[in-house]
Structure 1
């Protein structure tokens, strides 16, 4: 599935609607003002498909923060005046890079075995390692993959 500008804008507008609707969830007036500044900043981020995807990631996490009633970094600070930075480095519990070479060295030196999740994953766990990890609660991921049958 390809992300078109139309689809990305639809998602952003939907999340913008949710954020505006839930603004009363924020108890602090300062948080409300920061959230509004972030929404205004994100509304201007539409120069390329990649920027729009990043904008939508920020919008999603902003909605989650507003829904929880308290802003978390990076939304505790005013939005940057420059283009949006990569969100992975800003969000708490962001993705930890998986260095498969380090895993191999660690295992070769008698260290613990690589987690089963990484062993069973076709990409060695790279996709899952790049997903946000919640502070509390559970993280669930379900994938359905079809392999082409071998023709005899």
Structure 2
């Protein structure tokens, strides 16, 4: 999916607006300050399209935390000084498709040890949508898709 910087900034600004308006959901004043520090850090992350996408992922999870009224990792601590790409592993469920593993799956000559998951094989987008979805810390993950396929049966 190719998103423009304008689209990514619009999404970020919308999530910033949501986060700011819901800050009162956080009962602890300390949590509000942490959330604001995260918003300030994320607002500065716009050096590349990849960084902007990652910023939006962090913003999405921050908004969900604020909406729930309780900060969860990585937001329980102030944001690290490190650049955003180096802390991407802090996102719940990881970030998107692991590009190195995807390359191994795509190229059998790389000697990948794991076969590509069947879910990715059968997905029309190669699993891109699923990989970008949040994975719950506990409980179940359910995915239902309805896809129209051309009728290949001839009478």
The TM-score, its normalising length taken from structure 2, stands at: 0.69
Provide the C-alpha distance between the structure 1 equivalents of 2:43 and 2:53, rounded to a whole number of angstroms: 12
1:65 maps to 65
Moved more, 123-132 or 37-46: 123-132
**Number of residues of Structure 1 aligned to a counterpart in Structure 2:** 139
CA distance in structure 1 between the aligned counterparts of 2:113 and 2:131, rounded to whole angstroms: 15
Counterpart of 1:17?
17
Structure-2 change in CA distance of 1:125 and 1:3 (3 Å): closer
In structure 2, what is the Cα distance between the partners aligned to 1:76 and 1:127?
28
Q: Tell me the CA shift for residue 58 of structure 1.
A: 0.5
Which digits, 9 at most, give the CA deviation of each residue in 1:81-120, with x for residues without a partner?
121036652133447978976556xxxxxxxxx9864564
Unaligned runs of 5+ in 2: 106-111
Structure 1, unmatched stretches of 5+, are 105-113
Shift, 1:59, TM fit = 0.5
Coordinate RMSD, CA, aligned: 3.3
Question: What's 2:108 paired with?
Answer: none
Residue 133 of structure 1: how far off its partner (Å) = 1.2
Show the counterpart of 2:89. 89
Q: Provide the rounded CA distance (Å) in 2 between the counterparts of 1:78 and 1:116.
A: 39
Matching of residue 142 in structure 1 with residue 145 in structure 2: yes
Report the secondary structure of 1:85's partner residue. helix
